[in-house]
Chains A and B, each alone.
Chain A
Amino acid sequence: MAFIDYYKILGIDKTATDKDIKNAYRKQARKYHPDLNPNNAEANKKFQEINEANEVLSDAEKRKKYDKYGENWQHGEAYEQQTRQQQSRRSSNSGSGGFEGFGGGFGGGEDFSDFFQSMFGGAGSAGGGRRTGYRGQDLNAEYQLNLQDTLQTHKQTLTVNGKNIRITIPAGIENGQTIKIAGHGGAGVNGGPAGDLFIKFNIPADARFKRDGANLYNTIKLDLYTAVLGGDLMVETPTGKVKVKVKPETQNGTKVKLKGKGMPVYKKENEYGDLFITYDIQIPVNLTDKQKQLFEELSKS
């Protein structure tokens, strides 16, 4: 656990007055406040640091303690006392923020650093600092799906802060899209409404298909003979293989549209995008003498 220089975080020196601290905090907060930096995890983290620094330096008692031990905080009686009490704290502090069952989900919990906790104890975010809203806090989470999962609307049960919630993930949802689950954020204060839960869906690039909205794209290999003479070809779609007729004398790079074989259109029932396939014609290799001869005849015909 490293020492945290709260003065440095706020950009002030040790002689700073209460007013200097307040001003420095506000100045930094105007830059990094989450409300001014939507969807910016980095700024959010920075703001938590600023908040923590302010929590300590704006509180006369905490500041005094912090100044007294400074970088030698581990030798202070406070640390020793904390260490003894830590076991019990650890167990009571667990369970704040974070979502079970969510890949990399994060709650709105403004947990202070381990350094803070070992010096001042407790989770700390309760006393002062950023005032909590009347309306409950919005929570953010991320959830990963693959392309196949988005072919049909489906229901999913997620565990958020120990509570099970059932959500409906509409077919055709796209990578990076966010769904709002109203009222499933943090609880409100004094009868204020609860916040909302925002779930952002991550859909990694699919190995088979490229996607653009509801349309899908794929390049498939076509042998020279079928390209020249025409024939049938089995083509993979998200919902299985379909037979496609190849026209005689098909040119390399020809694009064919398979209507309605793309992704479902988001929130439009029974509407589908198209699947576009591009032919990559394969020139035969390792020809036998006989085959070479036939090609020569062809070229002279």
Chain B
Amino acid sequence: MKTEHLVAVSEFCVYHNVDNTFIHSLQQAGLVSITMVKEDNFIPETELKKLEKMISLHQLDINVAGIEAITHLLERVEQMQQRLIGMHNKLRLYEEE
């Protein structure tokens, strides 16, 4: 397996000054996926954005359960924002110029 698009969990934790167990609990909560290569844990590059968001929440004293709830809510907020754009565009049908 290629490792170029993977980031070692250990390296990532040092950089962000977070504990390995934090990443592990996010994984257990199904919030982030971790890849094992030869007994080492790696984070796929595609998960980094999500993960770094969770770390900033963690640094605001929000625990994993809170992060889990926020993640679901944010997904819904983003869906709603998309729908709102669609509605705005549709409303233009009824606006007089």
Contact = CB atoms under 8 A, between A and B. Distances in A.
Interface string A160-193: 0000000000000011110000000000011011
Interface in B56-70: 56-57, 59-62, 70
Interface stretch (A7-15, A25-33, A112-120, A283-291): A25-33
A133 interface: yes
A135 B48 CA distance: 7
Interface in A36-64: 36, 38-39
B16 A38 contact: no
B26 to A, nearest CB: 15
Chain B interface residue number, banded: 20 to 34
Nearest to B95: A205
B89 A212 contact: yes
B92 A36 contact: no
Interface in B26-51: 45, 48-49
A192 B48 contact: yes
Contact of A29 (B11, B60, B70): B60
A190 B52 CA distance: 15
Contacts of B85: 175-177
B89 A211 contact: yes
Interface in A121-172: 130-131, 133-135, 138
A217 interface: yes
Contacts of A177: 85
Given A131-B56, A189-B15, 20 more contacts: A30-B62, A33-B60, A35-B56, A36-B74, A38-B77, A38-B78, A39-B81, A134-B12, A134-B15, A135-B52, A174-B89, A175-B88, A176-B88, A190-B15, A192-B7, A205-B92, A205-B97, A210-B93, A211-B93, A212-B93
27 contacts: A26-B61, A29-B60, A33-B57, A33-B60, A36-B74, A38-B78, A130-B56, A131-B16, A131-B56, A131-B59, A133-B48, A133-B52, A134-B15, A134-B16, A134-B52, A174-B89, A175-B89, A176-B88, A189-B15, A190-B15, A192-B7, A192-B48, A205-B95, A210-B92, A210-B93, A211-B92, A212-B89
Closest 3 CB pairs of A and B: A176-B85, A135-B48, A133-B52
Interface of A: 26, 29-30, 33, 35-36, 38-39, 130-131, 133-135, 138, 174-177, 189-190, 192-193, 195, 205, 207, 210-212, 217
